[in-house]
Amino acid sequence: MYPLRIDPKHKDSLARTGVSRQFEQELRCSHAGETGAVWIYRGILATRPAGTLRAFATEHLKTEQQHLHLFESLRGCYRTSLLLPLWRMAGFLTGFIPALAGKQAVFATIEAVETFVDLHYQGQIQALNRRTQREAERAILNLFEICRLDEVAHRDEATQQRTVTPPRRLILWTTLVGAGSKGAVSLARHL
Ligand SMILES: [Fe+2]
Ligand SMILES: [Fe+2]
């Protein structure tokens, strides 16, 4: 288990002076993303009373809840997205729909989502790192990096379990999921 929480001394500093506008946007965006992630796994679990996919989703859900908890703990620094109900619903359907089609569709979906999330965290970390010298903000970026490494592990696990080449309709679905994730990020930065 890792310490996925902000050091109290940084938390005090953040509570006193807040964060820059860019940090505020990226925190809102990642809070929205981690909310969606929790609901993806809830969507999968809704279709599976038992079995290996249930075990996979339960394990991943635990990690996503820790990520969400981290962003919840920083809520004093930013306004959460006004579209949270939409992110929950979109997340749920992103898990539920492929789970109806079968395990391989779920693994391909998780692989696509986590590939996107890895790149998204990388972009955030690089961009924000350039814009701050502040210790408390740098501490937030270290936590982003811990989350990113978890997402990479999720992606790799899904890749390992995906044993068949995705059929055309599944490739269309994962392309749609990727495009939807991109659109959601742009919206959640501001809304
Ligand atoms: Fe996550
Ligand atoms: Fe993840």
Report the separation in Å between the CA atom of 131 and the middle of ligand 2, taken as the mean of its atom positions.
26
- Tell me whether residue 174 is in a domain: yes
Please classify residue 52 by burial: count the beta carbons closer than 10 Å to its beta carbon, then call 0-12 exposed, 13-18 middle and 19+ buried: exposed
Is the pLDDT at 1 greater than 60? The verdict is no
Report the separation in Å between the CA atom of 119 and the middle of ligand 2, taken as the mean of its atom positions.
12
Taking the CA of 34 as reference, the closest ligand is: 1
- Tell me whether residue 1 is in a domain: no
Residues sharing a CB contact under 8 Å with residue 1, sequence separation 6 or more, in sequence order: none
- Tell me whether residue 15 is in a domain: no
DSSP secondary structure, 144-162, as one string: HHHHHHHHHHHHHHHHHH-
- Tell me whether residue 99 is in a domain: yes
User: What pTM did the predictor assign?
Assistant: 0.91
- Tell me whether residue 46 is in a domain: yes
- Tell me whether residue 17 is in a domain: no
Per-residue pLDDT reduced to its tens digit, 117-132: 999 999 999 999 988 8
Report the separation in Å between the CA atom of 94 and the middle of ligand 2, taken as the mean of its atom positions.
13
User: Structural domain tally of the chain?
Assistant: 1
- Torsion sign (Cα): 62, 68, 72, 77: positive
Q: Tell me, what's the pLDDT at 167?
A: 85
- Tell me whether residue 160 is in a domain: yes
Per-residue pLDDT reduced to its tens digit, 13-67: 887 787 888 999 999 999 999 999 999 999 999 998 878 899 999 999 999 999 9
Taking the CA of 156 as reference, the closest ligand is: 2
Domain ranges, residue 34: 24-190
* φ, ψ at 132 (rounded to 5°): -140, 145
Helix, strand or coil, per DSSP, at residue 12:
helix
- Tell me whether residue 14 is in a domain: no
Report the separation in Å between the CA atom of 17 and the middle of ligand 2, taken as the mean of its atom positions.
30
